[in-house]
Amino acid sequence: MGKARRGRTGRPGVEWFSTTNPDGSVSERKFPLPRSLANVKRGFSEQKRADAKGWARKQLAQTRNRKYRPSEKQKPDPTVARSNKRLASRFYQMKTGHCLTGQYLAWTTRRPDATCWWCQYSIQTREHLFKNCPQWKSQQKTLWTTVLEETKKLPGPARGRVHTSIAELLADERCSQAVLQFLATTDVGRTSGPPVAEDEEDAASEASGWEARDKAERGWERREEEERLEAV
């Protein structure tokens, strides 16, 4: 009977299996390892990013147009990248403005108006939630105290509560840890508010989809963690 051997190939996620036959010849075949759905999705994202960079380089070489030149900073904020996946997702939603605020949900017709569902202020914006909403008064004080202390320690302008816009706050990597702590201790960007009346359910259905996706991501995280523990 032939002798069998098994091992990893140079390609990630692929193993080889070889058998030495009685006549001395070797039969070998390769097969992919089982992968989780999250791992497959990450592979597609990485490939898409690599294809986009290659296309931009090609266009830059052909046209010499500077708009195809990639930005100098390609890597994401390391503080946010090391944080919990769901927390990082809320951070980037807040940064882009496509987030669970009354203003954005009203603009997308997912809520009937932009009223703050915590204090009934007329427009619930990022500025309102990070600076003025009384629901998160103590967390706001901690946020801005920490931001001012950290930005004074490091090179760059100091960031105070009065003269700093939320866009500037979220773009400054020196403030990332304080912002993540604020999001972790509040429901800002986590909920789309209380249920609306029956005749407005359709407008709010897409907002509830955000929460459904959040639950799905938590399930993927748990499954990935279980797989890592099984592999150890």
Within 13 Å, how many C-alpha atoms sit on residue 45's CB side? 6
Q: What is the pLDDT of residues 152-171, one digit of tens each?
A: 999 999 999 999 999 999 99
Judged by average pLDDT, the poorest of 1-5, 164-168, 194-198 is 1-5
pTM, to two decimals: 0.59
Q: In whole numbers, what is the pLDDT of the chain averaged over residues?
A: 81
Could you count the other beta carbons within 10 Å of the beta carbon of residue 119? 13
Is 231:223 a contact under the CB 8 Å cutoff?
Answer: no
pLDDT tens digits for range 114-146:
999 999 999 999 999 999 999 999 999 999 999
Tokens of residue 119, six digits: 């204090």
| Percentage with pLDDT > 90 across the chain | 46
Coil, helix or strand for 109?
Answer: coil
* Number of neighbours of residue 91 by Cβ within 10 angstroms: 23
Asked if 95 and 171 count as a contact pair (C-beta separation under 8 A), the reply is yes
Phi, psi of 230 (to 5 degrees): -70, -30
More confident residue, 123 or 21: 123
